[in-house]
Chains A and B, each alone.
Chain A
């Protein structure tokens, strides 16, 4: 059992949890993920490691309520325990020599939480980090202090322009590139359409672009291939070969179709859970 040491709601739908998992904390590196299972009937879901503390043996995850399991996870409180928490899984990010080089770390939606440790790692390697992050509106912004501490230049975009910067992260990247900023390396983490749009933008400029893929996973150890993707024309398993890949080589169309595989079942589970919670609430009243 893995105890929840800390729980913090970052906004209405995004929650941070620090979990007691010494073995994972001991080995974790940037880019890696864990798989958790809440209880006996639970499914296994992958979540990126947002931070880790080797000394206290804790691992931080940040998740968004999008379906049954994340809704149920969000109902857990500090002191509660998770049945299974396994990791670190996937490969550690390899940034190469980025000392003194200018890099862009781009995060969309929950991807911001996942992009943050990448930015930290790059900054620690001596890179000059620009962060470009996007939110629906400024009220939903998360981790702004942390992001600004790690980046030379933080650009926050909002869909509704509520902070004066209306547009998508790709609009900001376009402006930077048009203004003549030379990036050696781009990291893009977020929804598939956003990672694709960034990759398409950097492709003609030949800027090395890394994306963090988030396909459906079960075991996370390479034994089922549920997370398979086509990268550079070859079949890859995101859980063992990734989750990071060269954005210019990923077949995003296929990945988007595969991500929707269980949409009907996911809706059923979510609705069923919402009904139950309503029933339970009535009962309490």
Chain B
């Protein structure tokens, strides 16, 4: 018997009024009873379209079947066969455009809550003991992984399973990449990220922190040190600015800086933690992606009275997850759509006091297929703000490409790879945002997985 309800069972959530004042996780997930109830909405389709929609091909109907039977830890093991970080993916994947978009139940009604079920299994298993997956015997080969974000962690985990001796080199003082410095605690508790990373370390992966590849060590040094292959998963961490006047005023942050101060350096506990952050009364966040939502909701939690998302297209084009937009709106974030800043104005001390903007209209579709915003004549207006967060995207950091002769990159900085992640340099592979520019956690994991397989095939041939 399956559950015929057309509606996806809602997860429990912190009340918006309460959660605006804290950094605790907003979504409280499913209870065991709720998970079983939602799992029984799955039709266990023969052709499994949902699996295709998942970039790492989690065996979705199989694990959901186990949830239905109350075998939560077994379900977790099934997920872990193809996904190294399920507690994270269940929370931050845009399921609406991946697995759940392909779910047959979505034709009439809501898709099965695959993300919520994945999260439930991971949380359930991690609250108990998570068994170390079975590893192949050591093969004596060393592989270096640059960056400990989702791409690097996945690649490292898969290679360790295949018997490689893997070392991850991380520039910052805590591993996790964007999972640690970017995505806030209220969306992804750091305790879980830590636990997921520990489970990768339990497979024998070594993590060397405070090593900046491109400065502390070069890719060529790594080969000299006996590594047979290198995977570059260094992400897209170089913030873009708009090149409008006033961007260097005090009170203008890149979203990376704002979120790094808050999440990574715990500036929300200042002066308990030593890193300060300045959040004024009126904050404008420029951009419409998840990073913009995270920055806006963080600003609110730090006591800003009025937080606006300023986006040059309409809500329909916003790249942020629907759930995050919904959460942001519930918390009182103001959405100023079809609006583009033209200048940031300062006072005599060099601090932000206002921002001028123009209104936009949507014109013809551009190369990305989205309708291009065009300035509406005579629509200029001024917003009183004292903090501006620029969240219009990131490009790959140039440190590695500048110090690696022969590594071919796109004009905008992305590393050029074939469909298996191989770069123009022998035995150098790359994946994740370093290749694609800013994308999603799960796509980075998919790329890490593909590259691990390709590295394995290549090194097996080399004997």
Contacts and interface: CB of A to CB of B under 8 A. Distances in A.
A37 B256 contact: no
A136 to B, nearest CB: 27
A258 interface: yes
A28 to B, nearest CB: 10
A68 B243 CA distance: 34
A222 B247 CA distance: 17
Contact of B274 (A27, A226, A269): A269
Interface in A62-114: 68-69, 83-89
Question: Which one of A83, A89, A257, A260 has the highest number of Cβ atoms from chain B below 10 Å of its Cβ?
Answer: A257
Nearest to B182: A223
A85 B209 CA distance: 10
Contacts of B274: 41-43, 68-69, 269
B256 A223 contact: yes
Interface string A19-49: 0000110010000000001000111100000
B261 A218 contact: yes
Contacts of B257: 218, 224-226
A85 B188 CA distance: 27
B250 A87 contact: no
B276 interface: yes
B381 interface: no
Contacts of A258: 248, 250, 350
A223 B216 contact: no
Chief secondary structure at chain A's binding surface: mixed
B265 A86 contact: no
Question: Which one of B239, B248, B274, B399 has the highest number of Cβ atoms from chain A below 10 Å of its Cβ?
Answer: B274
Given A84-B173, A88-B215, A268-B271, A222 B397 contact: yes
B260 A218 contact: yes
A257 B254 contact: no
A89 B212 contact: yes
Contacts of B241: 225, 228, 235
A159 B256 CA distance: 42
A43 B272 CA distance: 11
Interface in B219-258: 237-239, 241, 243, 247-250, 253-254, 256-257
A257 B349 contact: yes
B210 interface: yes
A16 interface: no
A84 B241 CA distance: 29
A265 interface: yes
Interface residues of A, number: 41
A254 B399 contact: no
B281 to A, nearest CB: 15
Nearest to B273: A41
Interface string A214-226: 0000110111111
B248 A235 contact: yes
B272 A41 contact: yes
Contacts of B273: 41, 43
Contacts of B349: 257, 260
Given A221-B171, A222-B237, A269 B215 contact: no
Contacts of A219: 171-172, 260
Contacts of B211: 23, 86
Interface residues of B, number: 40
Interface in A145-171: none
Nearest to A83: B173
A268 B249 CA distance: 22
A25 to B, nearest CB: 11
A225 B254 contact: yes
Contacts of B253: 226
B270 interface: yes
A223 B265 contact: no
Interface in A161-203: none
Given A218-B265, A219-B171, A269-B276, A23 B248 contact: no
A52 to B, nearest CB: 13
Contacts of A257: 249-250, 349-350
B213 to A, nearest CB: 10
B124 to A, nearest CB: 30
A226 B247 CA distance: 11
A254 B256 contact: no
Given A41-B274, A218-B257, A269-B271, A88 B216 contact: yes
B318 to A, nearest CB: 23
B136 interface: no
Contacts of B271: 265, 268-269, 272
A262 B278 contact: yes
A17 to B, nearest CB: 17
B212 A86 contact: yes
B215 A87 contact: yes
Contacts of A83: 173
28 contacts: A23-B216, A23-B217, A41-B266, A44-B265, A68-B274, A84-B209, A86-B210, A86-B211, A86-B212, A87-B215, A218-B260, A218-B261, A218-B265, A221-B171, A222-B397, A223-B256, A224-B256, A224-B257, A225-B239, A226-B253, A235-B241, A257-B249, A258-B350, A260-B250, A260-B350, A262-B276, A265-B276, A269-B274
Interface of B: 171-173, 209-212, 215-217, 237-239, 241, 243, 247-250, 253-254, 256-257, 260-261, 265-266, 270-276, 278, 349-350, 397-399
8 cross-chain pairs, A with B, having the tightest CB-CB distances, nearest first: A257-B350, A265-B276, A224-B257, A223-B237, A43-B274, A86-B210, A43-B275, A84-B173
